[in-house]
Structure 1
Amino acid sequence: MPTVGLFNKEGNKVGDIELSENVFGVEIKAYAVHQVVVALLANKRQGNQSAKTRSEVSGGGIKPWRQKGTGRARQGSIRAPQWIHGGIVFAPKPRDYRISVPKSMRRVAMKSALTSKVVENEIIVLESLDIETPKTKEMVKMLAALKTKKALIVVAESNENVYKSLRNIEGVSVIPANNLNVYDILKYDNFIITKDAVSKIEEVYA
């Protein structure tokens, strides 16, 4: 069973915490992680780009000049792609980029991503992250004490004070446990998670 250090907001180690082997100690399936990340990025695409082909551009109904005898290259329309203001070859059209991934694969990918953070010693478990008022300076001190800069901070529930305290710190993002995804886990160098959030994730994925 994986065991990692438990820290307080001052950056001091206050003990150890055992993580569920079914969530933080599984075999890492790189193919599943890759597939889910590709799907997540593809699903973010709006797919609303559009340009006109030569048949959709207005004008160009008449032949610019006669076929032969002018010494110029033959042309059929001033809206052909080689003309300025002409149509676009293979013009992009609105489309859906969504990729469907089975729920079982998403679970495998999530467990693999969480396990990779444990294996690479990039996970930090916090005893708690409760603050009464938003204070960015306090969060900066905490990150400095934990010796981390670019980090994803996961809390059990959405906390406005924590969010406001962290939103102006470059390279740091905060997210509730129920919104956690594979891409965000891998994107950041360090994975900071509260003890309550660990319990919530284990409850869902174990």
Structure 2
Amino acid sequence: MAVKNADGTMLAQVIAPQDLQLSPDQQALIAPEGLSQCVRALMQNWRQGTVACKGRSDVAFSNKKPWKQKGTGRARAGSPRSPLWRKGGVTFGPQPRVRTLTVPKTLRRGVCNTLLWNYLNNEKVMSLNWVAQEAAPKTAHAFNALKQAGLADKKVLLFVTNYDAATHASFNNISNVKMLLFDQANAYHLASGDYWVFLNKDMDAFKEMVSAWI
């Protein structure tokens, strides 16, 4: 794992612990089927499930028969609530429902562990020695740090703490940066970035996050 200064110079190289390595059997079990299973579960559980429309029992009409059955010359009609009528109910329309998919905790941890090892093995985890301007956070200041680190045109997943408002404000308007809280890491976002980046001052938070996967 590379530790870089704000001007792009290398400060240190951190070697990943052996605990992150998985056996071939474990890797075959987890990827790629395990990753796709976790992503499907996340995307399904993020859905609100509030879509709805009115059926014939919900629309605002009386139960009176529009006209008598015979003798008018018109087609017979029993209710203005019919889906054939204007403002009638919808046939087989969607209704609110909750669909929940669950994934075993062991599989989730294994997927995150595999992703971490792949990013470390490909040297795509970076610790940036950069501090936001607390008084007046500047997007240009943050973008310059990414540019010096060679990440200006890369999809960056930036791990941040919940209380670091200055860092949030600095990186919020950079289109290729996705900020993710340490305690909200998930397979969908972990697999979406080209690089994982966190600040040097958040090293302990990063260690705490990955320790839950090992």
TM-score in terms of structure 2 length: 0.80
How far apart are the structure 2 equivalents of 1:65 and 1:129?
Answer: 78
Tell me what 2:180 maps to. 175
Per-residue displacement from partner, 1:42-80 (whole Å, max 9, x unpaired)?
222222222211112121523334445655444322211
Per-residue displacement from partner, 1:115-162 (whole Å, max 9, x unpaired)?
34345x372311533334223211101111222233111146642221
Tell me what 2:8 maps to. 11
Aligned partner (choices 129, 138, 143) of residue 140 of structure 1: 143
Give the aligned residue type for 1:93: Q
How far apart are the structure 1 equivalents of 2:163 and 2:180?
Answer: 7
How far apart are the structure 2 equivalents of 1:79 and 1:10?
Answer: 69
Aligned partner (choices 183, 190, 203) of residue 185 of structure 1: 190
User: What SS is found at the alignment partner of 1:205?
Assistant: coil
Residues 84, 117 of structure 1: CA spacing in aligned structure 2 closer, same or farther, 3 A cutoff? farther
How far apart are the structure 1 equivalents of 2:37 and 2:188?
Answer: 11
Tell me what 2:45 maps to. 43
Q: Which runs of 5+ in 1 are unaligned?
A: none
How far apart are the structure 2 equivalents of 1:158 and 1:125?
Answer: 21
Aligned partner (choices 23, 32, 35) of residue 33 of structure 1: 35
Residues 166, 67 of structure 1: CA spacing in aligned structure 2 closer, same or farther, 3 A cutoff? same
Matching of residues 92-131 of structure 1 within 5 Å: 92-119=94-121, 121=122, 123-131=124-132
How far apart are the structure 2 equivalents of 1:124 and 1:83?
Answer: 61
Residues 83, 190 of structure 1: CA spacing in aligned structure 2 closer, same or farther, 3 A cutoff? farther
TM-score in terms of structure 1 length: 0.82
65-74 or 143-152: which moved more? 65-74
Tell me what 1:79 maps to. 81
Q: Is the 8 A contact 1:123 1:193 kept in 2?
A: no
Give the aligned residue type for 2:132: I
Give the aligned residue type for 2:104: P
Q: Which runs of 5+ in 2 are unaligned?
A: none
How far apart are the structure 1 equivalents of 2:86 and 2:49?
Answer: 26
**Cα offset for 1:92?**
2.1
Number of residues paired by the alignment? 201
Residues 66, 172 of structure 1: CA spacing in aligned structure 2 closer, same or farther, 3 A cutoff? same
127-136 or 184-193: which moved more? 127-136
How far apart are the structure 2 equivalents of 1:30 and 1:50?
Answer: 35
173-182 or 36-45: which moved more? 173-182
How far apart are the structure 2 equivalents of 1:145 and 1:127?
Answer: 11
